Amino acid sequence: MKSVIYITSEPAGAKLWVNGTEIGQQTPLILHDLGVGSYTVQVRKEGHEPGEVKLNLGVSEFRPVVVKLKKAGT
C-alpha cells in the first residue's frame, strides 16, 4: 500500500526536489505511489530562500506539507 504527499508552498509556483531529484513540476502538487521510508523534500523559488522538509512515511499515509518560503535577503 503506497503513501501520498500533498505539497504546497507559500508563495505557490515553487520548483520541487525529492531526495535530490528534481520533479519537474511546481507547487502545489501531489506525489503518489510512494513507498515506506524517509524523504527529503526541497522547495525553491526565485527570489526566496530554499525550504526543506524531512518526512518518514509509513504504510498508506496521506501527508499534507506546507513550506513557507522567506524572501531572499530578509
For residues 28 and 54, is the Cβ–Cβ distance under 8 A? no
Q: What is the pLDDT of residues 21-57, one digit of tens each?
A: 999 999 999 999 999 999 999 999 999 999 999 999 9
Task: Give the pTM.
Answer: 0.87
- The residues that bridge with 18 in the sheet, in sequence order, are 21, 41
- Cell numbers 499534507: residue: 64
Number of residues that make up the chain: 74
Band of residue 1 on the pLDDT scale cut at 50, 70, 90 = confident
